[in-house]
Amino acid sequence: MQNLTNADPETKSPDFVAENIARLRALFPELLTEGKEGVAVNLDVLKQLVGDKTVTDAEEKYGLNWHGKRMARRIALTPSTGTLRPCPEESVDWDTTRNLMIEGDNLEVLKLLQKSYAGKVKLIYIDPPYNTGKDFVYPDNFQDNIRNYLQLTGQVGEGGQKLTSNTESSGRFHTDWLNMMYPRLKLARNLLRDDGVIFVSIADHEIHNLRSKMDDVFGQENFVASVVWQKVYSPKNSARHFSEDHDYVVVYAKNADKWTPNLLPRTEEMEARYSNPDNDPRGPWKPGDLSARNYYGDGTYPITCPSGRTISGPPPGNYWRVSQEKFGVDGR
C-alpha cells in the first residue's frame, strides 16, 4: 500500500473540471462567461443551443449584448431551406476543376456547407459590409433566408415587402448589422478545422463591435491580431477631420494554440543583410540591440563578452531581450 501524498505532476489525477471547461470552450465558446468566482455557464445560451424557446432576452453577463441576439443565435441553428444546384454549362473545366464558386445568400450557403465541410476548412476570409450607412440592405421583417436573397438580387418580385437601407439615423443602426453578422460568424466557425483561422476585413465603424462579437463566438483567447492595412496612399482633401488611410483585418483562430501562420521565405535582399564574419557554426547573423523595455523576471543578468569583458547588466530601465537560460547559463 502506498501513502497518499502530494502527487507528482506525472502521477496526479486529471483535473476533470478544467478538462470539461476546455471541451465546452472548444465546442461552444459563447457558453462560458466570467462569473463571480471564475468561469460560469450561461444557462440562457445553453437552453438556446438545445432549442429551448422559453429563454428571455435578459442576458446580464459580461460581453456584447444587443436586442435580437437571441434570435440571431436561433437563426444560426435553423436548418436551411435552400438547395445547391450545379451549373455545368456556366462552369470552366467542370470535370477536373478543384475549385468551387457558389452564388447565393451567404447564410444559406454556410448552412448547406456544414454537412460536407464542417471542421475541414483551413482558412476563411470575409469582406462583410462595413456598416457605413448604405453599404447593405436588410428586409424589415428580418426573415433572413433564400427568399430574401432572391428579392435583393431582383430574381423574383418583392411581393410587397419593404427593403430599407441601414442608415445612421436608424435606431437599430448597430443592431441590424450585429444581427446580420452573428449567425454567419457562428456558422463560419463550425466550418474551420482545429488549426483553422478566419480573417475579417472591417473599418473603424464597427471594429469594436466585431471584436466583442468574435470574442463571444470564437473565445477571446483565440484572438490573434488586428492587422492594419493601408487602403489609400494620398490624403482626401474632402475629409472633415482626419483623412483615414487604413482599414483592419481582424484575425481569430479556431484554436490559437494549434494555428501558426506560414511565413513567406526571405528574399535575396533580406538574406544579404546577414553575414558570418566569425564563422559562427549557427550560420549567418547580423548585430542587433539585445535590450528591451518591458520588464520580466529573468531579464537582468551579467554577460561575458568574447574579449573577456563583463557587462553587469542592461542599461537602466531596460532588460535583456532573452532570458539567461536561452542566452547561456554562464552569460556567454
pLDDT at 330: 47
Q: What is the pLDDT of residues 12-67, one digit of tens each?
A: 446 667 788 888 888 888 888 765 567 778 887 888 888 777 766 555 566 788 88
- Inform me whether the pLDDT recorded for 158 exceeds 60: no
Q: 44: closest CA among 63, 30, 34?
A: 30
176 vs 268, which has greater pLDDT? 268
Return d(Cα 54, Cα 41) in angstroms, integer: 18
Q: 275: closest CA among 284, 267, 266, 283?
A: 284
pLDDT at 26: 85
- Say if residue 2 is exposed, middle or buried (CB neighbours under 10 Å; 0-12, 13-18, 19+): exposed
- Inform me whether the pLDDT recorded for 270 exceeds 90: yes
Phi and psi, residue 22, nearest 5°: -65, -40
Of all residues in the chain, the percent with pLDDT exceeding 90 is: 32
- Inform me whether the pLDDT recorded for 186 exceeds 50: yes
Could you tell me the sign of the dihedral formed by the alpha carbons of 204, 206, 208, 212, in that order?
negative
Model confidence at 4, pLDDT cuts 50, 70, 90, reads: very low
163 vs 127, which has greater pLDDT? 127
- Inform me whether the pLDDT recorded for 223 exceeds 90: yes
pLDDT at 27: 85
How much is the mean pLDDT over the chain?
80
Look up the CATH architecture of domain 103-231+244-263. 3-Layer(aba) Sandwich (3.40)
pLDDT at 141: 45
Q: What is the pLDDT of residues 288-321, one digit of tens each?
A: 888 887 777 777 888 888 788 898 888 888 888 8
Model confidence at 95, pLDDT cuts 50, 70, 90, reads: very high
The x, y and z cell numbers of residue 63, run together, are: 460581453
Per residue in 140-177, is it b (16+ CB within 10 Å) or e — as a string?
A: eeeebbbbbbbbbeeeeeeeeeeeeebeeeeebbbbbb
The x, y and z cell numbers of residue 209, run together, are: 463591435
Domain segments of the chain: what residues? 103-231+244-263
Return d(Cα 251, Cα 51) in angstroms, integer: 30
Of all residues in the chain, the percent with pLDDT exceeding 70 is: 77
Return d(Cα 68, Cα 186) in angstroms, integer: 15
CA of 272: how far to CAs of 164, 201, 213, 237, 283, in Å?
57, 35, 44, 41, 13
Which pTM does this prediction carry?
A: 0.67
Model confidence at 3, pLDDT cuts 50, 70, 90, reads: very low
CB 177 within 8 Å of CB 205: no
Phi and psi, residue 274, nearest 5°: -110, 145
Return d(Cα 213, Cα 86) in angstroms, integer: 34
pLDDT at 34: 65
